[in-house]
Amino acid sequence: MDFTLSVFSLILLFLTGLVAGFVDSIAGGGGLISLPVLLSLGIPPQLALGTNKLQGSFGSLSSAITFIRKKTVRLDENVHGIVFTFMGAMLGSWSIQQIDAGFIRHIIPVLLLFVFFYTLFSKDLGTHASQPKMTGTLFFTLFGLGLGFYDGFFGPGTGSFWTGGLLIVMGMDMTKAAGTTRIMNFTSNIVALSVFIIGGNVLYSAGLCMAAGQVIGARAGSGLAIKRGASFIRPIFLTMVFLTIVRLIVVNYI
């Protein structure tokens, strides 16, 4: 689809990608920043969604690489999750083209509220590793399929669900949960992006401009998250979960 952007718009998109990448690499929710800007420039919704997936994929990849290089997470420990997230995202991307996503929009804010309040009132959650409540194989099978499907099907809040699940169920500390989340987000993003590309719904000029900012922002954000740990990540995580809930309520009910 043809859509021409001014130089000012491209500069704005680069700066938006920078900020979104920084926030997303720490606590998720970068789409709350990037998508509204794309839409505000008059880019049609389907094209904006596909473009958002393109720039977001660069950010999640850059962030994941930083976490892996700093040895906060190990890629070989996440292969199982990557495989099942990929499978779930494929199924979700196919399903969204077959059925109406309306029903799921009403469930997600409630689930995110649970993650928000559980994290808010569990003061020590994520400050240090604790005993997992489920085996890694079972967790990544269930959450990989479920959240991969959700990201391919609908998307908002996926990173928050991953981080919340890793904290609550797997007992990870906040930094490792953030790094693992980025790996899984990149996996499902790539699948969803492929569907948008096939459908011709990606504006490459905007997406690649934002991607440049995303890479820089994601590296800076993930570096800070690794350096400063749970005390730095926790308030940003709670803020982004809360803003995601507000956005979904506004979109769905107001």
**Digit-coded pLDDT (tens) for 93-152:** 887 666 665 666 677 788 888 888 888 888 777 678 889 999 999 999 999 999 999 888
Could you count the other beta carbons within 10 Å of the beta carbon of residue 138?
Answer: 12
Reported as a pLDDT band with limits 50, 70 and 90, residue 220 is very high
Q: What is the pLDDT of residue 152?
A: 82
Distance CA 140, CA 207 (A): 30
**Digit-coded pLDDT (tens) for 29-84:** 888 888 889 988 988 888 888 899 999 999 999 999 999 999 999 999 999 999 99
Q: How far is CA 49 from CA 7, 166, 219, 245, in A?
A: 21, 27, 23, 19
The pTM of the full predicted model, rounded to 2 decimals, is 0.86
Q: How far apart are the first and last CA of the chain?
A: 31
More confident: 119 or 212: 212
CB-count burial class (<10 Å; 0-12, 13-18, 19+) for 27: buried
